[in-house]
Amino acid sequence: MTVAEPQALTFECETGNYHTFCPISCVAWLYQKIEDSFFLVIGTKTCGYFLQNAMGVMIFAEPRYAMAELEEGDISAKLSDYEELKRLCSQIKRDRNPSVIVWIGTCTTEIIKMDLEGLAPKLESELGIPIVVARANGLDYAFTQGEDTVLAAMAARCPSKPAVTETDKDERNAIKKLLNFGKKKEDVAQEESEYVEHTPLVLFGSLPDPVVTQLTLELKKHGVKVSGWLPAKRFTELPTLEEGYYVCGVNPFLSRTATTLMRRRKCKLIGAPFPIGPDGTRAWIEKICSVLGVTPKGLDEREAQIWAGIEDYVKLIRGKSVFFMGDNLLEISLARFLVRCGMSVPEIGIPYMDKRYQAAELEMLANTCRDMGVPMPRIVEKPDNYNQIQRINELKPDLVITGMAHANPLEARGINTKWSVEFTFAQIHGFSNARDVLELVTRPLRRNNSLKDLGWDKLVRDDVAKV
């Protein structure tokens, strides 16, 4: 008897628990991105040990984050939270003088009900430095959602456009002249004429500076001007947000930030697939252009050029299968790209699924599966890892993208694995970085093929099994 394959995506929810990397790790990339910030993580020694191990040892520069360690006196409410936080923040201001201090609340602050949102405004007015409160506890948030809570809090701090006075106009003209100093008038005029007149667009999501530049230039080719990024390189340069401005995300885990921008700042969200892989980047640009009333130019050629450049990687995975255990909320976007590369995806585990924010991505995934003639994946929210291992044993996928906890045990059972956390820290967005995504995906396959050729694969797996 032949079982009919599903014609639509199926969604399930298993344990209700998050089996992911801790969300306070967002400090690792955010403190580097926001150069004038300081992150104060309020938690126990366990949180401190985790951050030390997750971020490594800083040799050449002191990192701009610290731990406010909670002791027994804090937990039993015998000590004054306000006085201790005031002491720490005063020291941070004196020693580092940041433009903003970000308090990161951990699981312990949730359990003992620390009123961080109540303490921050009073301390902010007393010290004269902005204090942003973000919850990044593992009870409520999965791995990358730590960034989501920080950006949602910062969205409320983005300036609104003030009334422009004659003095402001004079200052802006002076700055403009300074920026254009040494340029020919023709070059300045040509640079301005490259943009189509449209409603201001702000992009949100923390990306490395080279990727920000790449995506900004990709949109510029089609006449779209990016008015700002959230977060900016400096807290003092947060983008202006006004009612009616368009906003668009670059990562699938920023649903709370999107909601904050729409509800509190009255911005209009552009619901697009995310710019991961040539197909996703093209769809992202097309959707932005269509909403802004701009006609894209040469996207077909640009995408074809990228596909041609990554064919040597694509042929290594074409016809193979990949199973996502779920960790960083990038799973849907990565699965869609890998299906377009010729892989099949029997299951996509994901810690948290916001179907509204990822609607365009889910639709593109389904359409890609139909175009490529592969079965629709099963999407499992908050998967039970024990059940997943049983399904992996039955399905025998060629590759499993998993959290670090399960990689070695699966490798010992002869299953190729890749750490999902590596996709979080790698540059994977935009046309130019599609090759880097496939470099990560194919590395375990290439490594194990090389070991087989040398006859070392069984020896390596025996050693892993002993560990």
pLDDT of 283 over the 60 cut: yes
* Mean pLDDT in residue range 367-384: 93
What's domain 23-141's superfamily in CATH? Nitrogenase molybdenum iron protein domain (3.40.50.1980)
pLDDT of 143 over the 80 cut: yes
Q: Cis check for the bond before 351: say yes or no (omega within 30 of 0).
A: no
Domain residues of the chain, as ranges?
23-141, 184-297, 301-466
**In the block, which residue shows the tokens 């932005």?**
288
pLDDT confidence of 6, banded at 50, 70, 90? low
**What predicted TM-score, i.e. pTM, was given to this entire model?**
0.85
pLDDT of residue 108: 82
* Mean pLDDT in residue range 399-410: 88
pLDDT confidence of 59, banded at 50, 70, 90? very low
In degrees and rounded to multiples of 5, residue 401 shows phi and psi of: -95, 115
In degrees and rounded to multiples of 5, residue 214 shows phi and psi of: -60, -50
Which residue type occupies 242?
A: E
Read off the DSSP letter of residue 76.
T
Check residues 403 and 457 and name the one with the higher pLDDT.
403
Check residues 171 and 221 and name the one with the higher pLDDT.
221
**In the block, which residue shows the tokens 């990228």?**
306
| Tens digits of residue pLDDT in 226-281 | 999 999 999 999 999 999 999 999 999 999 999 999 999 999 999 999 999 999 99
| Tens digits of residue pLDDT in 322-358 | 999 988 899 999 999 999 999 999 999 999 989 999 9
Q: Helix or strand or coil: residue 102? A: strand
pLDDT confidence of 4, banded at 50, 70, 90? very low
pLDDT of residue 184: 58
Q: Helix or strand or coil: residue 423? A: helix
d(CA 349, CA 329): 9
Phi-psi region of 324 (alpha: psi -120 to 50; beta: other; left: phi over 0): beta
pLDDT of 174 over the 80 cut: no
* Mean pLDDT in residue range 309-317: 92
Residue 161 corresponds to which tokens in the numbers above? 């456009």
Domain 23-141 matches domain 184-297 at the CATH topology level: yes
| Tens digits of residue pLDDT in 75-114 | 555 556 788 888 889 999 998 889 999 999 888 888 878 8
User: Percentage of residues in the chain with pLDDT exceeding 90?
Assistant: 52
Q: Helix or strand or coil: residue 133? A: strand
pLDDT confidence of 52, banded at 50, 70, 90? confident
Q: What is the dihedral of CA 39, 43, 44, 46, to 10 degrees?
A: -60
pLDDT of 201 over the 90 cut: yes
CATH T-level fold of 301-466: Rossmann fold (3.40.50)
d(CA 47, CA 69): 9
pLDDT of 73 over the 60 cut: no
pLDDT of residue 260: 95
* Mean pLDDT in residue range 425-442: 92
pLDDT confidence of 428, banded at 50, 70, 90? very high
pLDDT of residue 66: 79
pLDDT of 175 over the 50 cut: no
pLDDT of residue 47: 80
Check residues 191 and 44 and name the one with the higher pLDDT.
44
Sheet containing 322-324: order of strands: 10-13, 378-381, 347-350, 322-324, 399-402, 417-419
pLDDT of 68 over the 60 cut: yes
CATH T-level fold of 184-297: Rossmann fold (3.40.50)
pLDDT of residue 446: 83
d(CA 401, CA 119): 41
pLDDT of residue 401: 93
| Mean predicted lDDT score pLDDT of the chain | 84
pLDDT of residue 1: 39
pLDDT of residue 51: 80
pLDDT of residue 261: 95
pLDDT of residue 359: 94
